[in-house]
């Protein structure tokens, strides 16, 4: 038995149809683009039209698993790994809160300490 291959794409319609059709299992996250949805449906026998209707409404961290991984198609919640901070949006509210906190800390004027040159 060969080594497993994992393919990740934000634009499934750019994958070769032969590649997608040979995938034994799929984890499909939120897809709002109708062309991407249609491409997955046409290229993979294991994804039904009814299943595709759920894709635009999936939340962050939710996926539909189909294929050899599961007995029946399943909607799952993928836990967020807190140790890694890659590929996520910053929280503007937290940044503003931190900025406000740092602005309230006393500041020293270095000119008074060093003097004028």
Report yes or no on 64 lying in a domain: yes
Report yes or no on 28 lying in a domain: yes
Rounded Cα–Cα distance for residues 114 and 33 (Å):
60
Q: How many residues does the chain have?
A: 117
pLDDT in tens, 71-88: 888 889 988 777 766 666
Contacts of 80 (CB under 8 A, 6+ apart): 61
Report yes or no on 88 lying in a domain: no
Report yes or no on 74 lying in a domain: yes
Report yes or no on 104 lying in a domain: no
pLDDT at 111: 57
Task: Count Cβ atoms below 10 Å from residue 37 Cβ, excluding itself.
Answer: 21
Q: What percent of the chain has pLDDT over 90?
A: 9
Report yes or no on 32 lying in a domain: yes
pLDDT at 22: 82
Report yes or no on 114 lying in a domain: no
- Report how many domains make up the chain: 1
Residue 55: what are its φ and ψ, rounded to 5°?
-55, -45
User: Tens of pLDDT along the chain (117 residues)?
Assistant: 566 777 888 888 888 888 877 888 888 899 999 998 888 888 777 788 888 888 999 998 899 888 888 888 888 998 877 776 666 677 888 877 777 666 655 555 555 555 554
Closest alpha carbon to 30 in 2, 62, 5: 62
Q: What is the mean pLDDT of the chain?
A: 79
Domain that holds residue 50: 12-79
């Amino acid at each position: 038995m060969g080594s497993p291959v994992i393919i990740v794409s934000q634009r499934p319609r750019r994958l070769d149809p032969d590649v997608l059709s040979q995938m034994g299992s799929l984890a499909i996250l939120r897809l709002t683009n109708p062309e991407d949805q249609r491409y997955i449906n046409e290229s993979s026998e294991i994804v039904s039209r009814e299943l595709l209707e759920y894709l635009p409404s999936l939340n962050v961290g939710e996926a539909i698993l189909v294929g050899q991984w599961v007995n029946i198609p399943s909607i799952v919640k993928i836990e967020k790994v807190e140790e890694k901070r890659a590929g996520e949006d910053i929280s503007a509210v937290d940044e503003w809160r931190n900025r406000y906190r740092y602005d309230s800390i006393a500041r020293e004027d270095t000119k008074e300490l060093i003097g004028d040159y």
